[in-house]
Structure 1
């Protein structure tokens, strides 16, 4: 059937590499959530479960459950920075479920944790866009060639999505640009 997205080849190691990158990007945002909700371990558990998968664990129910729990935790915050930090954690656990469809929307599975963490940092510093840009620059330096290779199998990130969408597109461009 014409018009359907093509399938992208993804192996388990590709998913582990992407999930490790997402977990590493989300982890620095956790203190922003925990400062507000020190009694709520859900975002940290989502990142820990993402790391477990990235290091060889199973891709199954714990990833889905902790991602959903982190999403619910985001709703319990009183600040936009705390909410973005929880979304970064949710995105880390959800990265393991990158779909093998050549659709631009799949780029958020790869770069969403980094973008939400960058946005959380911006908001925590009075909406300082330079802080978010700095986070993305560090994320780009820490992205492995394997992560960039997986990203390049998909179309460029789509338009829209507000500031987080903009951050995704900035990181997407940086990782696709040689050199």
Structure 2
């Protein structure tokens, strides 16, 4: 485990792999968002931007703008009482944010790797009356999606941070499974 002041070796291709993983984890939750807001493309655009980066596009202002737009969609759905849709949109935000993983040995950076999966799992839980078995199943699916490169990158960082409510718990569960 790295200490908090150290930097981590992180290649551009590894960063792309992490972004692709985050997008793959967030994508299934789009169905939850789309049920509530079928005409709102902001979370889908954020995931698409992450996938574009993962497959060779530049880490650009567009990626950041899509993440901010999806964050607004998450807030709007939360304000409307649509918690599952909000969590799905947050998964999309996290997918776009994965492209901004920093090579700093801080536990908070693990969120860039695992938050998309944790928010997607929470979206599925909330959409099924808070059934933790559904979240556990989604975390298991996210484990399967993790490539050896993603696991290797994750292991360079400290373990996922404490806190964060249920999403934090899900993130720590996935972190433990992947290590």
- TM-score for the superposition, normalised by structure 2: 0.95
Contact residue 23 and residue 51 of structure 2 kept, 8 A: yes
1:140 aligns with 2:118: no
Which whole-Å CA distance do the structure 2 matches of 1:154 and 1:132 have between them?
Answer: 24
Q: Could you tell me how far 1:98 is from its partner in structure 2?
A: 0.3
Q: Could you tell me how far 1:165 is from its partner in structure 2?
A: 0.3
Which whole-Å CA distance do the structure 1 matches of 2:83 and 2:166 have between them?
Answer: 12
Give runs of ≥4 in structure 1 deviating > 6 Å: none
Superimposed CA distance per residue, residues 98-142 of structure 1 (whole angstroms, 9 cap, x where no aligned partner): 011000011010000000000000000000000000000011011
Which whole-Å CA distance do the structure 1 matches of 2:72 and 2:161 have between them?
Answer: 26
Which whole-Å CA distance do the structure 2 matches of 1:58 and 1:70 have between them?
Answer: 19
Question: 2:54 maps to which residue?
Answer: 54
Contact residue 4 and residue 105 of structure 2 kept, 8 A: no
Q: Could you tell me how far 1:11 is from its partner in structure 2?
A: 0.9
**Structure 2 stretches of 5 or more lacking a match?**
none
Which whole-Å CA distance do the structure 1 matches of 2:96 and 2:40 have between them?
Answer: 17
Which whole-Å CA distance do the structure 2 matches of 1:39 and 1:4 have between them?
Answer: 43
Which whole-Å CA distance do the structure 1 matches of 2:170 and 2:40 have between them?
Answer: 27
Q: Could you tell me how far 1:75 is from its partner in structure 2?
A: 1.4
1:123 aligns with 2:126: yes
Q: RMSD of the TM alignment (CA)?
A: 1.0
Q: Could you tell me how far 1:4 is from its partner in structure 2?
A: 5.9
Q: Which has the bigger relative contact order, CA under 8 A and spacing at least 6?
A: 2
Which sits farther off after the overlay, 4-13 or 45-54? 4-13
Which whole-Å CA distance do the structure 2 matches of 1:22 and 1:108 have between them?
Answer: 10
Which whole-Å CA distance do the structure 2 matches of 1:173 and 1:76 have between them?
Answer: 32
Which whole-Å CA distance do the structure 2 matches of 1:9 and 1:147 have between them?
Answer: 13
Question: 1:44 maps to which residue?
Answer: 44
